Amino acid sequence: MADNLLGSPRFSFGAAGKNFKLAFLVLVIFDLLSFWAHQFSFLNWLLFGLICLITLFLAVSKLEYAFYVLLLELFVGSKGYLLFGEIGDGRISLRVGIFIAIFLGWLIQLLMGKGREFFARKEWLLPHLVLAVFFVLGLVSGVLNNSLGELFFDANGWLYFLLVPVFFSVIRERKILDNIFSMLLAAGGFLSLKTLAVYLIFVHQIWPFQLPVIYRWLRESGVGEITFLSENYVRVFFQAQFYVLAGFLAAIVLLALDPKGKVNQRWLWGLIFLQSLALIISLSRSFWLGALAGFALLLVLLFFKYHWKFVSLLKGFLALAAMLVLNLGFLSAVTLNFYPEVLTGRFVDPASEAASASRLNQLKPLWQAIQNDWFLGAGFGKEVSYLTRDPRLVRQLSGGYYTTYAFEWGYLDIWLKIGLLGLLAYFWLMVKIIRQSFRAEALGAILMIVLAAVAVTHVFSPYLNHPLGIGLIMLFSATLAFLEKFYGTKTG
């Protein structure tokens, strides 16, 4: 099959296609609507309700289109509050609204005899069910031993796994995969431009933008945070830059495995530049380490699986190094006060920096709590106290000790809540994805490399127990199940 997703690395999806442009335009319009909706509560309610109703209608009539709504919000929404509905003192995020609409739509289709593909794929059903068992045990343990309020907010992200049958129901055609990956690249490009725009606005305090209004929107919508590091430099961090990392690595793999240029290479280089720029601006060590892990795996695959010569590998490495130099030069030009120490300082004496010191201070009490319930876990909502260095929290706390159920150390968090067996069940699902990806040739290389980056990122920043990471796991599982069924790969 020289022209399929498994054999010769040809792709019909790409960075310059109509689906890319359409997705990009939709994201721009949606972001502008989100900004104005956060200024006028009636508009927020109106758009929130309208999108949820449209998604429900699509989920019943054309599940594929509702699925695209779900993915676009997931790719750029960070915590999911780009729009929300207020009920009393509480808020229902757009992500929750879309989740409920699609789940209800799928249930209706299930009653009509549709949407059962996931339950017929026993080789994928089993690892998901095993993980679900330990999730339920974590819920039961949490109900018996922990606060119900903390339990709900701790466990609700895991409920996103309930959408896995939807992923398997939708991903049944090659064109749908083309659309999804075009959307991923579009989202990565959009988030990168948004990161750069916010960065320039706050660095130069550009008129007529009102910084307090924009800052409030970014914080209130859960998109991310702005941190002033010096007079002319700010950190712009979005949780959704997780998908910038995914898009960055996907674009590199596309470029490496399609050197003849079926995919528009100028667009890909432009995306790589923008996305690497956004990852630098984020100053996220977790993303950087994840990118290094993904790049290292790519080099291994190119050398051992695709038989690249050392000279070709060196050229590719030098091209990316030159891109990094261009990134740093660009930042120096636009800030007029950018120093490499801003980057290198992120790795020098982490204990001296508030966020890193707080993360390190979590290790000992977290490990002690794990040892008390290491086999089956302490359940969702389990709280642990540690000494925080976060200035905002220190001002509120006596002695600086902070008690929480949410921790930066992703795998330790999972271990604490659902035990060693639950963590191993999650590893089983991830290993299955990697093994199957290895058999899926070109597209599989993208999945494998992105998953490696996500796995390393999760060590220091929790994503695999959050809809952002869970969505990626479901997307990869359903993609590989499709390839296995229609192109004949075997898990072994």
Q: Domain locations in the chain? A: 18-341+420-487
The Cα 334–Cα 443 span in angstroms is 37
pLDDT bracket for residue 349 (50, 70, 90): low
The Cα 444–Cα 450 span in angstroms is 10
Bridge-based pairing state of the strands 90-93 and 224-230: unpaired
* pLDDT for residue 55: 97
Beta bridge partners of 403: 385
The Cα 58–Cα 68 span in angstroms is 10
The Cα 400–Cα 233 span in angstroms is 28
Beta bridge partners of 401: 387
Residue 467 has pLDDT above 90, yes or no: yes
Nearest residue to 492 via CA among 423, 456, 440: 440
Q: What number is the average pLDDT over the span 362-375?
A: 95
369 alpha-carbon distance from chain centroid: 28
Cβ-count burial 52-68 (b if 16+ within 10 Å, e if not): beebbebbbeebbebbb
Q: Measuring CA to CA, how many Å separate 133 from each of 408, 413, 425, 438?
A: 24, 17, 10, 28
- What's 340's DSSP letter? T
Output the six-digit token pair for 424.
């191993």
Residue 221 has pLDDT above 90, yes or no: yes
Residue pair 267/219 in contact (Cβ under 8 Å)? The answer is no
Residue 3 has pLDDT above 70, yes or no: no
The model's pTM: 0.94
Q: What number is the average pLDDT over the span 122-143?
A: 97
Residue pair 170/302 in contact (Cβ under 8 Å)? The answer is no
The Cα 258–Cα 263 span in angstroms is 7
Share of the chain above pLDDT 70, in %: 90
pLDDT bracket for residue 144 (50, 70, 90): very high
* pLDDT tens-place string over residues 379-414: 999 999 999 887 777 777 777 788 999 999 999 999
Give DSSP secondary structure letters for 425-442.
HHHHHHHHHHHHHHTTHH
420 alpha-carbon distance from chain centroid: 24
Residue 462 has pLDDT above 80, yes or no: yes
* pLDDT for residue 263: 59
Q: What number is the average pLDDT over the span 369-375?
A: 95
Residue 473 has pLDDT above 80, yes or no: yes
- Distance between first and last Cα of the chain: 21
* pLDDT for residue 481: 94
* pLDDT for residue 490: 46
Q: Is 79 left (phi over 0), alpha (psi -120 to 50) or beta?
A: alpha
